[in-house]
Structure 1
Amino acid sequence: MNEIMWAIGRAGGIVSLGLFTLVLVLGIVSRSGRPLLGLPRFSVALVHRSTALTAVVFLALHVGTLMLDPHAKLALPDVVVPFIAAWNPFWVGLGTVALDLVLALVVTGLLRQRLGQRVFRTIHWAAYGMWPIGLAHALGTGTNAVDLWFQAYAWGCAGAVACAVVWRLSAGFAETSAARLGRA
């Protein structure tokens, strides 16, 4: 049973890294106001939200199974308070920081209507901090962190985000009201 929990915990972390990468890339590229892959902007936003929810589910699976695994010995305080874990406190602490930021994003997402657009967007910028912290956590801890396939996967995720950021910062990127209205 312990090996199953460990495997599910690892798989949950690996899948959540990929899903959070997709969420971040969708968030970056959809800010242009232009349709993405022929989808209207509301469809891209719906895919972004749905993927984010799925990523949170896999993150909960990752953390929950590692809390139940006697080998990982992850306790509730380790999940909430960064850098206090008995094993590998720095790298586990980075995962805790990323989890705390995800929780802030989820709460503000649920309270979006009550908080207002400006507050929501300001807090939503935490996603730009959460993702690299989560990536560092994945590369610094874990059974598969040194495996070539995982390194390729993690750096592929980083490459996708880098491409989206470069595109966003390029001269051809324009978020104008005309683009948002589909007149550009």
Structure 2
Amino acid sequence: MSALGNQALWDLGRGTGIVALVMFTITLVLGVLTRSGRPVPGLGRFGASDVHRTAALTGTALVAVHVGCLYLDPYAQLRLVDLFLPFLGAYRPLWQGLGTLGVELLGIITVVSLLRHRVGPRVFRAVHWLTYAFWPVALLHALGNGTDAATPWFRGAAVVCIAAVGLAVAWRVAPSYAGRGWHRTPRKVAR
């Protein structure tokens, strides 16, 4: 492959990883907000659900491209074993291993989410809690292994992602006041 092709693989691998992190931040924020039982301003319940699902699937596709590009890129030097067994990589094994662990968590979450109606609500909910582990693992991977991690624009993007998740969690756990027109609606699980 030419040097230009290698550079394209490297750039596409980096870019898709960063955009995937943003997509998963959107997914997590919307998941936390909709779980509160309160309407998401500007989206409503169904709109939030659609954007949540679309961002999750887009992020998953971007991770597939991210991993594929970096596997094919001779500069990244990923081995087949690095795609499946975390913490064995030659370059920054801890940070690369977090990426591998993140891909494995994402795979489990994605498969169970796609089979949601077959596995039942209890299994789906239990596995869906893994997103609270997946997102920080992906963020740490990007901060520790990303070649753009030291740049101001990436640090700014990471701060925005962290702030968005933090604000969503704060909103979720904040008491709701009926006097302000907000109330929590308990979700019913079909049995």
TM-score for both structures, normalised by structure 1: 0.92
Aligned letter for 2:136?
A: P
For the pair 1:145 / 2:149, whether they are aligned, the reply is yes
Encode CA deviations 1:96-138: one digit per residue, 9 max, x unaligned. 1111100001110111111100110000000000000110010
- In 1, Cα distance between equivalents of 2:64 and 2:104: 12
| Conserved? CA contact 1:31–1:175, under 8 Å | no
The number of equivalent residue pairs is 179
| Conserved? CA contact 2:176–2:184, under 8 Å | no
1:118 maps to which residue?
A: 122
Q: 2:165 aligns with which of 138, 146, 161?
A: 161
- In 1, Cα distance between equivalents of 2:34 and 2:117: 21
TM-superposed CA distance for 1:172, in Å, is 2.1
SS in structure 2 at match of 1:140: helix
For the pair 1:26 / 2:57, whether they are aligned, the reply is no
- In 2, Cα distance between equivalents of 1:21 and 1:93: 20
Range 74-83 or range 30-39, more displaced = 30-39
- In 2, Cα distance between equivalents of 1:23 and 1:163: 14
1:50 maps to which residue?
A: 54
| Conserved? CA contact 1:19–1:54, under 8 Å | yes
Range 96-105 or range 71-80, more displaced = 71-80
- In 1, Cα distance between equivalents of 2:141 and 2:185: 37
SS in structure 1 at match of 2:61: helix
The correspondence of residues 7-22 of structure 1 with structure 2, limited to 5 A, is 7-22=11-26
| Conserved? CA contact 2:38–2:185, under 8 Å | no
1:97 maps to which residue?
A: 101
2:176 maps to which residue?
A: 172
For the pair 1:82 / 2:86, whether they are aligned, the reply is yes
Q: Tell me, which stretches of 5 or more residues in structure 1 are unaligned?
A: none
TM-superposed CA distance for 1:156, in Å, is 1.0
TM-score for both structures, normalised by structure 2: 0.89
SS in structure 1 at match of 2:77: coil
- In 2, Cα distance between equivalents of 1:56 and 1:176: 30
Range 125-134 or range 32-41, more displaced = 32-41
Aligned letter for 1:97?
A: L
Encode CA deviations 1:45-74: one digit per residue, 9 max, x unaligned. 121111100011111111110000000011
Q: What's the % identity of the aligned pairs?
A: 48
| Conserved? CA contact 2:87–2:94, under 8 Å | yes
- In 1, Cα distance between equivalents of 2:127 and 2:54: 19
| Conserved? CA contact 1:94–1:133, under 8 Å | yes
TM-superposed CA distance for 1:38, in Å, is 4.1
2:180 maps to which residue?
A: none
TM-superposed CA distance for 1:35, in Å, is 2.3
